[in-house]
Structure 1
Amino acid sequence: MLDPDQLTLHTLTLRQLATAAQISEINGQAEDAVAPALDQAVTDGLVLSARGAYMITPAGRARLDEVYPAAFAEIRASSDVAAAMDSFESGVNRQVLELTTEWQTVQVDGTPTPNDHGDPEYDARVLDRLGRVLEKTRKVLGPLAAADPLVERFTDRLDAALTRAEGGETDYVSGVRVDSVHTVWFQMHEHVLRLTGRERPE
């Protein structure tokens, strides 16, 4: 697995521009441990810093590409993990993408129209289906969560975003400025792809 410094660097591949606090929220490390790791990574040319936020450099990505094969060798060799990823890509990932589209648009006279969230029954139906897909996701990704606790942290964050959406905060389904279901799902997807050495599907 990744050591703490490598995990900090890895987290910047999941969120392209992030503060130490945001990195801590994603990977569960203490912020006072993340900050010095970032400072060292900046010194080493692996990370760029601007106004308190950080971004990984090509050198940082190259470093991780060197680290991943050994760090995740056991995960990548697991047939259970491979089967879980096949199920994830062909099932729940497609379903979440479809439900995100349904959340963002409604059909008016056969034409997709931006959802103004004026129909609570429509929104409730989408949220109910999304909740069932997220519950299934925990089961599908079980072999990965057993090997890497960060996977379970992502599913917990997805549940937290859904709870806020169910409470009326509509941005928490697909908003890009908050840790919405869509935002956290994208991060989780990138993480499991890097764990398993797979490419993001077209």
Structure 2
Amino acid sequence: MSDSYLLALHALTLKQLSDVDGLVTIFGQDADDVKKALENAVAEGTAMAARDKYMITPAGRTVLDEAYPQWFAHERSDAEIGSAMESFETGVNKQVLSLTTAWQTVEVAGERQQNDHSDSSYDAKIIDKLGAVLDRTTTVLAPLTAAQPSVDRFLTRIADALTRAEDGELDYVSSVRIDSFHTVWFQMHEHILRITGRERDE
């Protein structure tokens, strides 16, 4: 996507509610370009603003839904990309969901309880497994990344979150308040679904 206006709207579908800086983080756009695009979107009714934060409107989603097929015509018709998405959905995405559950809860006497993260060995194993899944994801999504380099930006951000978790900042595994592994993974998933025209399974 080369149009700042449409790319800003697209970023809002991934971030839901965000200020300018939050949207800049997603695709690395120029902050002034993003701000101008959002101001135009608000004026046209495709986004709404409150306290320096923005949200896409139903009209904005309609604009994107009409634009996606042309933007991503190649990605939606390429058989190799289609196969990559199947592997992503049935493989690494399910593994991340399972590992996130394992991170947030532990089994005690046959029941799942909230993980208090007192067992550093247990946590380290989950983080190691997330790293292995991320490595596989890079390989799985290679055909899509070749067509849409923006996907690699998400993989880099996920890797950055994982590094921080490995260094002891455990919130970077799944906290929704920051760009954690799980938060950015969710954004990437939504991004590639919109590129390929697929629906979210879960």
Q: TM-score range by the shorter chain?
A: over 0.9
Structure 2 stretches of 5 or more lacking a match?
A: none
| Amino acid of the structure 1 residue aligned with 2:193 | L
Q: Does 1:29 align with 2:26?
A: no
Query: How far 1:2 moved relative to its partner?
Result: 4.6
Distance of 2:4 and 2:136 partners within structure 1: 30
1:178 corresponds to: 178
Q: Check the 8 A contact 1:2/1:71 in 2, yes or no.
A: no
2:80 corresponds to: 80
TM-score of the two chains, using structure 1 as the length reference: 0.98
1:16 corresponds to: 16
Paired residue secondary structure (2:48): strand
Query: How far 1:27 moved relative to its partner?
Result: 1.1
TM-score of the two chains, using structure 2 as the length reference: 0.98
Paired residue secondary structure (1:169): coil
Deviations 1:121-154 (A, max 9, x none): 1011111011000011011111111111110000
Distance of 1:149 and 1:34 partners within structure 2: 19
| Amino acid of the structure 2 residue aligned with 1:123 | D
2:188 corresponds to: 188
Paired residue secondary structure (2:15): coil
Query: How far 1:70 moved relative to its partner?
Result: 0.5
> Percent of aligned pairs with the same residue?
57
1:6 corresponds to: 6
Distance of 1:41 and 1:4 partners within structure 2: 11
Distance of 1:4 and 1:147 partners within structure 2: 19
Distance of 1:83 and 1:174 partners within structure 2: 28
Distance of 2:71 and 2:149 partners within structure 1: 14
Query: How far 1:31 moved relative to its partner?
Result: 1.0
Pairs aligned (count): 202
| Amino acid of the structure 1 residue aligned with 2:54 | Y
Distance of 1:145 and 1:180 partners within structure 2: 21
Paired residue secondary structure (2:112): strand
Distance of 2:116 and 2:103 partners within structure 1: 10
| Amino acid of the structure 2 residue aligned with 1:182 | H
| Amino acid of the structure 2 residue aligned with 1:190 | E
Distance of 1:153 and 1:74 partners within structure 2: 20
Structure 1 stretches of 5 or more lacking a match?
A: none
| Amino acid of the structure 1 residue aligned with 2:53 | A
Paired residue secondary structure (1:96): helix
1:112 corresponds to: 112
| Amino acid of the structure 1 residue aligned with 2:126 | V
Q: Which of structure 1's runs of 4+ aligned residues deviate more than 2 A?
A: none
